Chains A and B, each alone.
Chain A
Amino acid sequence: SQTIHQWPATLVQPVGSPLSLECTVEGTSNPNLYWYRQAAGRGLQLLFYSVGIGQISSEVPQNLSASRPQDRQFILSSKKLLLSDSGFYLCAWLPLAGGYETQYFGPGTRLLVL
């Protein structure tokens, strides 16, 4: 069966520090991968998506970047965190089989920037 992992689960970082959040998917090949940010009362905002290794599309200009070094690994990074980067970060994957329609979400990473 397919599973999606995110780590760390919780992170507290000072302003100006770097960031690396990791997402990995098991039991599938060549999925589309997504990073979302959830801020209180604002729903989910799509940050990045990837349709393959090394292929990253950015949805909104921001202080963050993403990379996909391996087929089932998706990394969210920042060189210098801002207070506004605080939030709940969710990784999702879209299986490229069947109807192509349903995204499945990981457990999320809670990031607090102080």
Chain B
Amino acid sequence: AQSVTQLGSHVSVSEGALVLLRCNYSSSVPPYLFWYVQYPNQGLQLLLKYTTGATLVKGINGFEAEFKKSETSFHLTKPSAHMSDAAEYFCAVSGSGANSKLTFGKGITLSVRP
């Protein structure tokens, strides 16, 4: 069984400020972890993923996330927010293997203030 917790539903930051979106997971098997971004009325776009190896993963648009097994966390960060980062962000977990299912958190809406 697996689950994802994204606390809160909305985060607001100023342009140029640090972005930190939190994600905690629960998984009975070694997890694969993902962050997806969704712009209004669009599908989900993969930002980054952790499968194995280096625990700090870098994604598109300057985002990165660190897998911390001891904390069961996979928080998403970006040093300096841009107006174009305003979107909804989803953290997700799956196991390995082709038939493993992807479980999503409820998502966090990021607003960026000028």
Contacts and interface: CB of A to CB of B under 8 A. Distances in A.
B45 A105 contact: yes
A49 B101 contact: yes
A101 B43 contact: no
A102 B49 contact: yes
A102 B90 contact: no
A56 to B, nearest CB: 14
Chain A CB within 10 A, most for which of B32, B41, B90, B102: B102
Nearest to A90: B43
A100 B96 contact: yes
Contacts, number: 54
Interface residues of A, number: 26
Contacts of B51: 99, 101
B45 A43 contact: no
Interface string B72-114: 0000000000000000001000101111111111110000000
Contacts of A101: 32, 49, 51, 94, 96, 100
B17 interface: no
Contact of A43 (B41, B43, B101, B107): B107
By size class, the interface of chain B is 20 to 34
A29 interface: no
Interface string A49-86: 10100000001000000000000000000000000000
B99 A32 contact: yes
Nearest to A108: B43
A55 B17 CA distance: 48
Given A90-B44, A99-B51, A106-B43, A43 B90 contact: yes
Given A90-B44, A94-B98, 15 more contacts: A32-B99, A41-B9, A42-B106, A43-B90, A44-B90, A46-B101, A46-B102, A100-B100, A101-B32, A101-B100, A102-B34, A104-B46, A105-B44, A108-B42, A108-B43
